[in-house]
Amino acid sequence: MEDKYEKKIQEILQKIRDKRKSLKITQEKIGIDLGMTQSSYKELENGKTQIKLISFLKICEYLNINMRDLYFSEKDKLFLINQSIEKLINTQKESSLKRNENFELIMEMLKLIKENVESN
- What pLDDT shows up at residue 105? 77
Length of the chain: 120
Q: What is the pLDDT of residues 67-96, one digit of tens each?
A: 888 877 677 666 767 777 777 777 777 777
Check whether 25 has a pLDDT greater than 90. Answer: yes
Closest CA to 51 of 4, 9, 7: 9
- What pLDDT shows up at residue 1? 54
What CATH topology corresponds to 2-71?
434 Repressor (Amino-terminal Domain) (1.10.260)
Cα separation, 45 vs 40, whole angstroms: 9
Q: What is the pLDDT of residues 26-61, one digit of tens each?
A: 999 999 999 999 999 999 999 898 888 899 999 999
SS3 26: coil
CA 93 to chain centre: 25
- What pLDDT shows up at residue 30? 95
